[in-house]
């Protein structure tokens, strides 16, 4: 096996891995949206509502967890 063939197999494997990762991430986002865990449509408003006096997308969690 020469160097060019090794590069071709590596390129194919990396491309396949990236495609699978992308589809896995898209599925994760879809599953969270459908289960109601997150509402990603709220996050799309962040680009439009970016003034200092606008309401935040999610409330700030002021409770600090203690590390034991």
CA–CA separation, 12 and 22 (whole Å)? 15
- DSSP structure class, residue 61: -
Residue 52 in domain: no
Residue 34 in domain: yes
Residue 67 has pLDDT above 60, yes or no: no
Residue 66 has pLDDT above 60, yes or no: no
Residue 20 in domain: yes
Residue 55 in domain: no
Count of domains for the chain: 1
Domain that holds residue 21: 13-45
Q: pLDDT per residue over 6-58, tens digit each? A: 999 999 999 999 999 999 999 999 999 899 888 888 887 777 877 888 877 77
Residue 39 in domain: yes
Q: Which helix (H) or strand (E) holds 23?
A: helix 3-35
For residue 37, the model assigns a pLDDT of 85
Interacting residues of 22 by C-beta distance below 8 A, sequence separation 6+: none
């Amino acid at each position: 096996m020469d160097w060019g063939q090794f590069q071709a197999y590596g390129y194919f494997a990396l491309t396949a891995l990236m495609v699978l990762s992308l589809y896995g991430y898209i599925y994760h986002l879809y599953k969270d949206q459908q289960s109601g865990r997150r509402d990603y449509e709220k996050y799309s408003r962040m680009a439009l509502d970016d003034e200092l006096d606008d309401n935040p997308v999610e409330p700030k969690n002021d409770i600090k967890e203690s590390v034991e």
